[in-house]
Structure 1
Amino acid sequence: MSTPPPERVVEQFPHLDALRAVGAVAVLTTHAAFWGGEYTDNGTAGRLLARLDVGVALFFVLSGFLLSRAWLQAAADASARPATGHYLWKRFLRIVPVYLVAVLAALWFIDANAALGAGDRAAAVLLSSSMVDPAFPAGLTHMWSLMVEVHFYLLLPLLMLLATGRRPGLDVRRTVAVLAAMVAASVWWHLDGALRVGEGRDVDAGQWLPAYLTWFAAGIGLALAQVLLVRGRGGRPVSLLARLAAQPGVCWSAAVGLLLVASTPVAGPVLLAAPTAGQSLTKHLLYAAVGALLVLPAVLRVRRPDAGATTFDRLLTNRGARHLGLVSYGIFCLHLPLLHLVMRTTGWELFAGRGLQIWALTLVASIVAAEVAYRLVERPALRLKSVHPLRRRGAAPAEKSTAATGSTTR
């Protein structure tokens, strides 16, 4: 008689919602600072503001961790793998409704988009502008990262099949080989691939998925380490990661230090000039390390049951921070159209200062709009996740984001 697979352990990661809020506010802040001309007028502080686009790397690391973990758990426990159809349906519900709200707002209310043709508008609606144009339309230029993330969603089931195979058991070497291949693909893309693919075409191939596979690989690597840790596997490498994770202050200080390095010329210019291939790769790898270090103590820290809350816990698990994380997707999607609105209604000139005022008005407006979008759009859409028309009969449902992880995936 066969032995049933062990009951899946349900771990909680309550810090991750607040980390997503950190990422969203970081992206908003770097855009507001750019519009206020703060990058070049404030020395090191201005360059650091420019590098707060590291929030995108944080998003990608979080997505890699949260979304891959269900497959890795299933392989380790010899249980049913997530149903691809259900997984894709949930991703659709999570991403598309609020995105369409942002697209409609930008295309119909931002004057710079008035002359766009039907093809450009269709590309924006289909989240594919960077595949056919140099950039997304005004008010949506940040959506290249969402396009990359959606492409990762589509690729993930194949990556997990390559990493875990179909046989019971988690082959660590096989999974690590897939992660190494993802990193190698990104390195090649930065050094040569993007130029080759984009040559002769009016597109920015540097904003396509291959350029960011390392960031997702960092998240998948953390998921692998976490799955191995709770099962007493992984040996010395996982043990060392857990010891580092036990010191959140060290992890975050190291992340800040690496961000300071990224603010120097080794990671390229802070404005719109194109970096060299070496600078692009350096920035990419530094951001991967920053994202991984920020997430590490939130997912691999082993705490005694009787241990009290640390400053790290109090900052990231308080109710306000977690709620801000809950609506952070709306903040991310809507902040740039609202930034256009702030500049239009105030009459402030681009690059003419007032960075703090621009940031404050945009942040407040984005939080309010995100709260409304969450209640009227996101939450009603997510109620449909149990109606999974693509689910394959007999397959396991995809892991529940909130109940099983303590965090919703962006």
Structure 2
Amino acid sequence: MKSRDAALDGLRAFAALGVWLLHVGSNTGVMYREGMYAWMMSRLGIAVPIFFLLSGLLLYRPWARAVIEDTPRPKPLRYLWRRVMRVMPVYWIVTGLALWAWSSLDWLGWVKWMLLLQNFFPGDPPVDGLYQMWTLPIEMSFYVLLPVLAWALHRWARGGNRPVRLLAGIAALPVVSVASVVVARLFEQPQMALWLPYNLVFFACGMAMAVLSVWIGHSRIVDALAPQLLVSALLLYALLSTDLAGPRTLALPTMQQSLLRVSLEAAVAVLVVAPFALAPNPGSLRHRFLGNPVTAYLGRISYSFFLWHAPVITLQLKLTGAQPFQADFPSVAIVSFVVTILLSIASYHLVEVTALKLTARRSAPARPPDAQAPAPVAPLA
């Protein structure tokens, strides 16, 4: 039976909390005040590159192991089915409720949202309570593309040193992101930031980390340098929190600001995740901090937390009649956190775990009648 990585679950929990705090800060106006605190809050969107990197790491690792260790490759259809069942059931519930409550979309608009196509129609009106959902079409695009990327990398790596060739092949992917940033700014197409090519660098960093985790296993160097790596991530995050990486508002950054921001976000995400992915050490302080039972559990429900928090904040603001950017930060933070946690626990156990059991039962191989059924295993991403 596979086991979850408690520290990576804890890291996912902190990333989800970062997204929640970002949206509490933006809806109450705290994020737009003067001072370094407000600027650093405005860059909590770094959680999204961390999520993307974790997806690249955890989902590509079985394919990387198949190349390096000649283990069986994942079956694409089974993999895609698991991804759909992992992502879509709770998404449909949360999105359907928000669309029913706050949108006037016609049936075609509903279809776009229910099929995660909303990022490809920038002219459509926004929907209250769903402003965080822009990340999911990017995630799903990567899920669909990954088997193709894995197949191409597998063929590329067959000759010579396989891990090195895999890393060389993956190194071509960030070029796509750089080209997308340049095109988006040159031709004033900001919606490209909502597409996979623009964000492919983050997934590529995770894929490269997957190769390294299979190839070298536990790195003593990374383990020894873990504190320095995490401090470096904090320092780069402070740099990311300046106007060098662009404005805090929805005003478009320049090309230079966009390139710097993407580069810094990728660097911070790598420095944060590497000590846990490349130097797993349950006895270390960092692992005990992130991998304790509370944060590990929050990591398991983090997907539901991510989905629910924005509709909860929106509903709270509508019920209290708060003016835009003028709501009380403490009350919004406390109420939205408590309500979102409760909803997340319910949807995780009632919907996510149920869907997981269905996929596990569907994909389980035939077994003798007297064999004991294996316990269902939660996906790692």
TM-score, structure 2 normalization: 0.90
> What amino acid is aligned across from residue 340 of structure 1 in structure 2?
T
CA RMSD of aligned residues (A): 2.6
d(CA) in 2 for partners of 1:288 and 1:365? 32
Name whichever of 83-92 and 156-165 sits farther off. Answer: 156-165
Q: Among 167, 170, 174, which residue is 1:179 paired with? A: 170
Q: Is the contact made by 1:335 and 1:362 (CA closer than 8 Å) also made in structure 2?
A: yes
Q: For residue 290 of structure 1, what is the aligned residue in structure 2?
A: 268
Q: Offset at 1:389?
A: 7.2
Distance 1:319 1:109, change over 3 A: same
Q: Is the contact made by 2:4 and 2:380 (CA closer than 8 Å) also made in structure 1?
A: no
The answer to whether residue 60 in structure 2 is matched with residue 77 in structure 1 is no
Q: Deviations over 1:326-381 (max 9, x none)?
A: 10000001111111111122222221152232122211111111101011111111
> What amino acid is aligned across from residue 51 of structure 1 in structure 2?
R
> What amino acid is aligned across from residue 211 of structure 1 in structure 2?
Y
Q: For residue 125 of structure 1, what is the aligned residue in structure 2?
A: 114
Q: For residue 164 of structure 1, what is the aligned residue in structure 2?
A: 154
d(CA) in 1 for partners of 2:310 and 2:87? 17
Q: For residue 368 of structure 2, what is the aligned residue in structure 1?
A: none
d(CA) in 1 for partners of 2:324 and 2:36? 21
d(CA) in 2 for partners of 1:382 and 1:82? 17
d(CA) in 2 for partners of 1:246 and 1:100? 44
Distance 1:10 1:126, change over 3 A: closer
The answer to whether residue 17 in structure 2 is matched with residue 46 in structure 1 is no
Q: For residue 364 of structure 1, what is the aligned residue in structure 2?
A: 338
> Which sections of structure 1, spanning at least 5 residues, go unmatched?
1-8, 233-238, 392-399
Q: SS of the counterpart of 1:133? A: coil
Q: How does 1:170-319 map to 2 (within 5 A)?
A: 171-193=162-184, 196=187, 204-230=191-217, 242-301=220-279, 303=281, 309-319=283-293
Q: How does 1:124-163 map to 2 (within 5 A)?
A: 124-134=113-123, 137-163=127-153
Q: For residue 303 of structure 2, what is the aligned residue in structure 1?
A: 329
Q: Deviations over 1:18-69 (max 9, x none)?
A: 1111111111110110001012224111011110011101100110100000
The answer to whether residue 22 in structure 2 is matched with residue 30 in structure 1 is yes
Distance 1:290 1:68, change over 3 A: same
Q: SS of the counterpart of 2:204? A: helix
Q: Among 33, 41, 48, which residue is 1:56 paired with? A: 48
Q: Offset at 1:170?
A: 6.5
Distance 1:302 1:369, change over 3 A: closer
Distance 1:210 1:204, change over 3 A: same
d(CA) in 1 for partners of 2:3 and 2:351? 29
Q: Offset at 1:385?
A: 1.4
> Which sections of structure 2, spanning at least 5 residues, go unmatched?
366-373
Distance 1:298 1:116, change over 3 A: same
Aligned residues: 371
Distance 1:86 1:294, change over 3 A: same
TM-score, structure 1 normalization: 0.84
d(CA) in 1 for partners of 2:307 and 2:320? 22
Q: Offset at 1:313?
A: 2.0
d(CA) in 2 for partners of 1:169 and 1:22? 40
Q: Among 338, 341, 359, which residue is 2:312 paired with? A: 338
> What amino acid is aligned across from residue 108 of structure 2 in structure 1?
G
Distance 1:121 1:195, change over 3 A: farther
d(CA) in 2 for partners of 1:320 and 1:353? 30
Q: Offset at 1:216?
A: 0.4
Distance 1:249 1:361, change over 3 A: farther
Q: SS of the counterpart of 2:73? A: coil
> What amino acid is aligned across from residue 149 of structure 1 in structure 2?
E
Q: Deviations over 1:211-257 (max 9, x none)?
A: 11110011111111111113x9xxxxxx6xx5134333222211111
Distance 1:95 1:168, change over 3 A: farther
Distance 1:182 1:390, change over 3 A: farther
d(CA) in 2 for partners of 1:302 and 1:88? 28
Distance 1:57 1:117, change over 3 A: same
Q: Offset at 1:291?
A: 1.0
Q: Is the contact made by 2:301 and 2:344 (CA closer than 8 Å) also made in structure 1?
A: yes
Q: For residue 371 of structure 2, what is the aligned residue in structure 1?
A: none
Q: Is the contact made by 1:18 and 1:316 (CA closer than 8 Å) also made in structure 2?
A: yes
> What amino acid is aligned across from residue 91 of structure 2 in structure 1?
Y
